[in-house]
Structure 1
């Protein structure tokens, strides 16, 4: 993206995020300057060239073959089943038919009909996703009728219950670790594409023990797509933790664990988002539409 386009896009984001007097003043000043500089190209740049193609225009089609299920199809595209159901209303019954065409979005989220008069800031408040992110991935449309909300698989009023929840009692490594990649939206440096990271990557030497962050029951031990070697611990009351990219396992399905018990070791299996050895750690809460990932940082006691 050239300089003029970057400045123009900055103005758009500023307007979307604040729509304040200060924002309007900055826009007016920069617009005036643009008459006497190469920035005059801003006024001539179509809005469509300043934004990526909208997510809902990037849907793939998948034709169901014998033996496939919603779960297996979702796994092929590194999605959760609730994302496919949300984009394909015909899947509400939970079944697929051989030969059926299914729309596949590029990442997890839900498709919504935007209430009349609602702004990107209104949607940001309702779903907890930044207004500028919503604006950009939906094609920079000022008054949308439909929108894709990324990284979300619930609707307002369906948030996971956290009654009497006080956070995790422990930490998933023997010592506090540097965070290599935080929870949330990031830009892939090589491609410039946005992607959602559903956990936090804690940097550690390969082979470092991975510990249960709280007491619970081990419900999954195995290899799972991008996660590589993965362990899932159910802590009851609709919450679970996930430990990915492990090099080995020290537990088994059905085992009861206490806070601090060794589950496995740090590794580099699967498809990590960063190159350094690390633990991919997630905290999820059960909702009516599946297990919703939340920022682990706010749940760790240390």
Structure 2
């Protein structure tokens, strides 16, 4: 079952990881192409899993694991992890191996472990791990990107305050904030990838910045969704709309009405609201960021 990336649940159970058994590689986000250059359809908001984004490579005479890895700006250990037949350290002419779009390795996930457990163990973000592994709710095997998993691993995802205005005017109250949300005892916590801005039904929703509308569609948990591309690897998402006021390909400016507050999809709270996300392109996909970092401060 394909899950939407709007939220991710976790079990409260804590898992202890024995990291000494895992192979540590080198600098994070080394080589490869950004995930969104891999022909991921715009309508698939949970990207294809990494296993479906591999490039086949037929080994030529004279090639080695090292030389093949160098062609794709990867480290040899990445190829060995992805291709178990390379565990001997040798390749054979005519052999087909799979090339991932960026460095990393597959690991077995302990029974009961969650994406948040993995994120804590490797110093990565749970929502990114969740999405590059195809939004599987209960993983048994996972691809861990990068070649170093320190908590301070560098990232190409920047923070900026370039949005011109809040998408609801006047500035609304936040009903549900960005990040991990704790629920009542016995219930799962979940990762909330945006902010829920409180507003009455049918309140106009406006573009937060200039850009091009790249998606107008009904998308699972998001319901009626508009996605605007602002260039430079940045986009905003507007979810749970009652109806649309724009179409794909339209150019918008700050304040352009793009839709109206609704309750479509699977909202995370009963009170009417707009679910608003800011995403930036990183080496492993469209990473959600806290919208409050990007919106004007009143």
Name the TM tier (shorter chain): 0.5 to 0.7
* Aligned counterpart, 1:92: 54
* Aligned counterpart, 1:11: none
Q: Does the CA-based 8 Å contact 1:200-1:280 persist in structure 2?
A: yes
* Aligned counterpart, 2:128: 152
Q: How far apart in 1 are the matches of 2:13 and 2:220?
A: 31
* Aligned counterpart, 1:289: 284
* Aligned counterpart, 1:65: none
1:137 aligned to 2:117? yes
Structure 2 unaligned regions, length at least 5: 1-11, 18-38, 57-103, 108-113, 130-144, 147-152
Report the secondary structure of 1:226's partner residue: helix
Matches within 5 A, 1:3-82: 51-52=13-14, 79-81=46-48
Superposition RMSD on alpha carbons, in Å? 3.7
TM superposition score normalised by structure 2 = 0.55
* Structure 1 or 2: more helix by fraction: 1
Q: Does the CA-based 8 Å contact 1:113-1:147 persist in structure 2?
A: no
Larger Rg: 1 or 2?
1
Q: Does the CA-based 8 Å contact 2:224-2:239 persist in structure 1?
A: yes
| 1:191–1:253 Cα change, 3 Å | farther
| 1:201–1:157 Cα change, 3 Å | same
| 1:278–1:190 Cα change, 3 Å | farther
Q: How far apart in 2 are the matches of 1:148 and 1:236?
A: 26
TM superposition score normalised by structure 1 = 0.54
Structure 1 unaligned regions, length at least 5: 1-49, 56-69, 95-110, 115-133
Higher relative contact order (CA 8 A, sep 6+): 2
Q: How far apart in 2 are the matches of 1:150 and 1:220?
A: 25
Q: Does the CA-based 8 Å contact 2:224-2:243 persist in structure 1?
A: yes
Of 160, 174, 177, which residue of structure 2 is paired with 1:179? 174
Of 232, 256, 263, which residue of structure 2 is paired with 1:261? 256
Q: Does the CA-based 8 Å contact 2:215-2:225 persist in structure 1?
A: yes
| 1:275–1:92 Cα change, 3 Å | same
